C-alpha cells in the first residue's frame, strides 16, 4: 500500500480517537531503520507513523552535505517506495522544528509537497510538527496559525506544542527549564484550540511532565490528568466534537498504565525514538563483542569478512528495532487495528 492519502490519514486519526488506541510514531535515520519500522507495523497489523527529525534528516543526507531538508526528502521518497510493498497504512511526519528552522527545513518540505501535488501525487509528508515551545504562547500560536494555513492548503496536518518536553533529544535541550514549564495548563489548551480551530486539521503536543531520553521507571513524574482537564475545558465550552488529537512525547520509562491513561484522555500518537535507538544499537554492540577477532584485523591477521560485513549486524539491528516497535504497538493497542482494508 502506498503511503496514506490525506483522507486516509484523517481516517487513521479518527479511528484511534474513536476506538481508544494510539499510533507509535518512530523516528528513522536510514533505510535500515525505515525497513525495520515498516516490518513491525505490517507484522503487528497496525497502521503507523514514520517521522524524521532535523538531526536525523541531516544524518541521512550524508556527512558531506548535512542538509536537513534534502535528507528528509530522501528518506520520505524512500518510504513512499518501500511502503508500496506492505499491507498497512503509513503516514510520514517531521518531528520538532523550531522557529529558527521553519524557513530552512519546514517550508522547503512544504514546497516539495506542493510540487508533488502539481504532478498529481499526494503530499510528500502527511503532517509536520512546529515546535514553538521556545517562544511565548502568543508568538507560538501566531506562527502556528500561519503554518497551519499553509499546511491546510496542501491537505497536510500540523502538530503544535505548548509547554516544553523536558530533557535532551537530537539537539533539542530543555533540561535547564523550571519544572512548571513542563506542564501545559487547561487555559493554554483552550487558547490553542481557539486559535487554530477552523483553519485546518491539527494535532497538539500538550506537556504533562514528559521528558525526552532514557529514564528508569518512576524517575519522571507524569501528570496525565493535565490532558484530561484540558480536554474537559475545551469540550465543555465547544462540545464533544472539539476533542483534540493529542500527542505524547518523551514516553521512555513510562509504565504501560501511564501510557494507556493518556490514550483515555485523547492521545492518538506517541513518539518513540530513545527506546528504538537502543533496540537498534544493542545487537550491534553484542555482535562486535562476540566477534571482535573477526571484526578487527588483530596482530596482522585478516579478520573474518562475514563478521565485519555491515549487512550482518545491521540485519540484527533492524530485527531488534522491529521487535521493540511491535511491543509499542501492543502497549498502545494499535496492534490489529489497521484500517487499510476499510479506508
For every one of its 343 residues, what pLDDT tens digit does the chain have, with 9 covering 90 and above?
A: 789 999 999 999 999 999 999 999 999 999 999 999 999 999 999 999 999 999 999 999 999 999 999 999 999 999 999 999 999 999 999 999 999 999 999 999 999 999 999 999 999 999 999 999 889 999 999 999 999 999 999 999 999 998 766 444 455 555 555 555 668 899 999 999 999 999 999 999 998 876 655 445 455 578 899 999 999 999 999 999 999 999 998 877 788 998 999 999 999 999 999 999 999 999 999 999 999 999 999 988 999 999 999 999 999 999 999 999 999 999 999 999 999 977 6
Q: Does residue 17 belong to any structural domain of this protein?
A: yes
Catalytic residues, by residue number, are: 95
What are the residues facing 94 on neighbouring strands? Answer: 52, 128
Write down the pLDDT at residue 315.
98
Write down the pLDDT at residue 212.
53
Cα(125)–Cα(107) distance, integer angstroms: 12
Which residue has cell 537502543? Answer: 278
Cα(203)–Cα(210) distance, integer angstroms: 17
Cα(311)–Cα(32) distance, integer angstroms: 10
CB 37 within 8 A of CB 325: yes
Which structural domain, as residue segments, surrounds residue 224? 6-331
Q: 89 is written with which cell numbers?
A: 497504512
Q: Which residues of 204-218 are buried (b: 16+ CB within 10 A; e: fewer)?
A: bbbbbbbbbbebeee
Q: Does residue 56 belong to any structural domain of this protein?
A: yes
Q: 101 is written with which cell numbers?
A: 528552522
Q: Does residue 247 belong to any structural domain of this protein?
A: yes
Cα(341)–Cα(343) distance, integer angstroms: 6
CB 141 within 8 A of CB 132: yes
* Pairing of the two strands 267-272 and 23-27: parallel
Q: Does residue 343 belong to any structural domain of this protein?
A: no
Q: Does residue 78 belong to any structural domain of this protein?
A: yes
Write down the pLDDT at residue 167.
47
Q: Does residue 342 belong to any structural domain of this protein?
A: no
DSSP 3-state helix, strand, coil percentages of the chain (rounded to 5)?
A: 50, 15, 35
Q: Does residue 140 belong to any structural domain of this protein?
A: yes
Q: 210 is written with which cell numbers?
A: 514528559
Q: How many domains does the chain have?
A: 1
Cα(298)–Cα(108) distance, integer angstroms: 48
Q: pTM for this one? A: 0.92
Q: Does residue 338 belong to any structural domain of this protein?
A: no
Write down the pLDDT at residue 180.
56
CATH of the domain at 61: 3.20.20.70
Amino acid at each position: 500500500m502506498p503511503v496514506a492519502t490525506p483522507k486516509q490519514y484523517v481516517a487513521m486519526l479518527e479511528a484511534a480517537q474513536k476506538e481508544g488506541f494510539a499510533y507509535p510514531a518512530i523516528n528513522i535515520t536510514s533505510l535500515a531503520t525505515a525497513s525495520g519500522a515498516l516490518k513491525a507495523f505490517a507484522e503487528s497489523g497496525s497502521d503507523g507513523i514514520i517521522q524524521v527529525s532535523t538531526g536525523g534528516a541531516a544524518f541521512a543526507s550524508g556527512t558531506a552535505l548535512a542538509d536537513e531538508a534534502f535528507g528528509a526528502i530522501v528518506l520520505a521518497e524512500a518510504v513512499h517506495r518501500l511502503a508500496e510493498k506492505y499491507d498497512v497504512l503509513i503516514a510520514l511526519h517531521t518531528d520538532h522544528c523550531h522557529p529558527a528552522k521553519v524557513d530552512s527545513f519546514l517550508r522547503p518540505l512544504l514546497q516539495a509537497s506542493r510540487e508533488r501535488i502539481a504532478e498529481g501525487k499526494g503530499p510528500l509528508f502527511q503532517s509536520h510538527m512546529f515546535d514553538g515551545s521556545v517562544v511565548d504562547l502568543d508568538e507560538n500560536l501566531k506562527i502556528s496559525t500561519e503554518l497551519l494555513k499553509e499546511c491546510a492548503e496542501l491537505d497536510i496536518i500540523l502538530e503544535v506544542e505548548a509547554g516544553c518536553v523536558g530533557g535532551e533529544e537530537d539537539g533539542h535541550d530543555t533540561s535547564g527549564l523550571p519544572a512548571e514549564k513542563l506542564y501545559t495548563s487547561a487555559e493554554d489548551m483552550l487558547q490553542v484550540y481557539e486559535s487554530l480551530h477552523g483553519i485546518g486539521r491539527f494535532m497538539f503536543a500538550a506537556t504533562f511532565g514528559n521528558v525526552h531520553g532514557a529514564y528508569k521507571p518512576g524517575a519522571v513524574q507524569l501528570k496525565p490528568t493535565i490532558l484530561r482537564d484540558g480536554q474537559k475545558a475545551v469540550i465543555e465550552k465547544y462540545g464533544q466534537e472539539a476533542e483534540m488529537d493529542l500527542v505524547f512525547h518523551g514516553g521512555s520509562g513510562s509504565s504501560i498504565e501511564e501510557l494507556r491513561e493518556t490514550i483515555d484522555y485523547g492521545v492518538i500518537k506517541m513518539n518513540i525514538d530513545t527506546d528504538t535507538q537502543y533496540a537498534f544499537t544493542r545487537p550491534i554492540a553484542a555482535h562486535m563483542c562476540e566477534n571482535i577477532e573477526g571484526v578487527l584485523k588483530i596482530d596482522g591477521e585478516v579478520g573474518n569478512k562475514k563478521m565485519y560485513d555491515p549487512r550482518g549486524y545491521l540485519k540484527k539491528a533492524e530485527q531488534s528495532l522491529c521487535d521493540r516497535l511491535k511491543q509499542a504497538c501492543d502497549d498502545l493497542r494499535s496492534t490489529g487495528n489497521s484500517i487499510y482494508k476499510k479506508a
